[in-house]
């Protein structure tokens, strides 16, 4: 498999699915959550391409991992989400190469609160964590 941004995203989703209680972590954004929560969505959050050594390009990407719960029964939802505050970073930090799809990455930044803006995700208001893996380093041929 060629190591691409998508292969790194798929490796992240595979790791997330090993966490007890995670029900839905598709490789690509689906048309609906299927009603299974927590729902985890991983997407590119920007980055840069730089010149590497001769014939190589270096990508420094940010990858965002969002864990969604429906915004109902707020105290219950927040309590359930807090159980994942360490488990997601732990499973990601156990393998800094994400199954060999990246060279390494820097830190994991996180936010907590409503996700998906005013419309939520697919029209469902959600709350959750958003972890961002920063400076995900990928090297590849420039050709």
3-state secondary structure of 7: helix
This model's pTM is above 0.85: yes
Number of compact structural domains in the chain: 1
3-state secondary structure of 110: strand
3-state secondary structure of 9: helix
Burial of 125 (0-12, 13-18, 19+ CB in 10 A): middle
C-beta separation of 114 from 125 below 8 A: yes
Whether 79 maps to a domain, the answer reads: yes
Whether 47 maps to a domain, the answer reads: yes
Q: pLDDT tens track of the chain, all 143 residues? A: 467 899 999 999 999 999 999 988 878 776 665 667 888 999 999 999 998 888 888 999 999 999 988 888 788 888 889 999 999 999 999 999 999 999 999 999 999 998 877 766 677 788 999 999 999 999 888 77
For position 9, which CATH number holds?
3.30.70.1700
- What sections of the chain are H helices per DSSP? 5-16, 74-82, 87-93
Whether 143 maps to a domain, the answer reads: no
Domain extent, residue 59, equals 5-138
Whether 65 maps to a domain, the answer reads: yes
């Amino acid at each position: 498999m060629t190591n691409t941004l998508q292969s790194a995203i798929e490796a992240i989703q595979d790791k997330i699915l090993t966490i007890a209680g995670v029900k839905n972590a598709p490789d690509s954004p689906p048309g609906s959550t299927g009603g299974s929560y927590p729902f985890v969505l991983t997407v590119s959050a920007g980055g840069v391409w730089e010149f590497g050594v001769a014939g190589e390009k270096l990508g420094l990407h940010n990858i965002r991992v969002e864990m969604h719960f429906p915004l109902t029964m707020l105290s219950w939802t927040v309590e359930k989400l807090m159980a994942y505050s360490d488990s997601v970073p732990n499973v990601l930090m156990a393998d800094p190469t994400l199954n060999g799809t990246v060279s390494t990455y820097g830190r994991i930044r996180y936010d907590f609160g409503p996700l998906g803006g005013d419309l939520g995700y697919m029209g469902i208001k959600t709350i959750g964590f958003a972890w961002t893996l920063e400076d995900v380093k990928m090297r590849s041929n420039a050709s």
